[in-house]
Chain A
Amino acid sequence: MASSGNKNINAKLVLLGDVATGKSSLVLRFVKGQFVEFQESTIGAAFFSQTVAVNDATVKFEIWDTAGQERYHSLAPMYYRGAAAAIIVYDITNQASFDRAKKWVQELQAQGNPNMVMALAGNKSDLLDARKVAAEEAQTYAQENGLFFMETSAKTATNVNDVFYEIAKRLPRLQQAPNPSGMVLVDRPADRATGASCCS
């Protein structure tokens, strides 16, 4: 790995969405490249991590995959607190899950980290025949609310990695870096430029 100029960023990411929309399946696909027809229901939340390289930086996602059932929503702040990114998931064959997704967006906009990168994922895009939510509707909603939107399929792997990579690209990187070991803030030039040579 190139040692000069590289940045290693840890980014907390949370998945939110209605029950059985495929949150865990998206994570399993992204982290392990696997898919199972019946994924164990998540209780509380499950933790995963995966590192991706974007340009000259690596982003280590610390992923919190949360439980979907309504009563678990009261636990959600614990998982989205301090998160750099969120994927809000709905099931394209289920209108109610899209409505629920909008509520999550509202909640994150009001309570979450203001710089949070938010993605809206319309999952189960392989089930076209059963579609209930039009892609255009979701796209419009996403644009109006400053999210980026993709239809995904954890089953066929369509767009799954893309969502995570797109998030990685959009992270306001240097603000998020929690690693104190010799990080140089490149966009803060004059004051301590000469002394800070650890990355060269």
Chain B
Amino acid sequence: MLAISDLRVEVDGKQILNGLDLEVCPGEIHAIMGPNGSGKSTLANVIAGRDGYDVKGGSIFYMGNNLLDLLPEERARQGIFLAFQYPVEIPGVANIYLLKEAINAIRSSKEEKELDAIDFLSLVRDKLKLLDMKEEFLYRSVNQGFSGGEKKRNEIFQMAMLEPTLAILDETDSGLDIDALKVVSDGVNALRAADRSIILVTHYQRLLNYIVPDYVHVLANGQVIRSGDHSLAAELEESGYSWIGGGGEGKSLGASVG
């Protein structure tokens, strides 16, 4: 489904990804771990097509197509979803309105009919339950005045609504207390499917206790330096990132954030 090979990316003239390889098959969950500055978020943003990331070499193929040729909205319409590390506020735009626009943009790109109000609302109510969210949440402006936890929950709610083929969760665990982490993880687990792949970008092993990945990759200096199964995460928890040397900051992984 996703094949990244020898990816080289610069940001403001500085090389961040330096020959990264990654292959993700349908239904798999891959965790990308690594110290700050190792290029995890860069990888997430490059897949989603954000401006300001200069691809200098290598390739990303998604469902057999060259992803780098596509605009961000085209990637989204083909099923790529990014849960943002820092979800953006849009004053005056109701959450539900953005969702409706998004769903209809995706549907019309597939020449499907727009959802009528009744079908849309019943879908929305289903998914709200999944994330244990109240309906009034729909009518608040996108992410405005949301707590950190609400923002992250909203991202997963959007993911549930948009039903992506490939979801990238960029530090979704940061800023969550343990209860919120559990709700969010339950939501993500409920969205696991044979035709849906998930990439979890995280600094901490904690999330992986709740969402168990099939593969764990350790990123350092813009490359995958180790890959393994779930046990690799546990190993990292023991040893931290200090063994990597360079770019790492040797923080203990067990610590909880914010």
Are A and B subunits of one complex?
no
List the interface of chain A (C-beta within 8 A of B): none
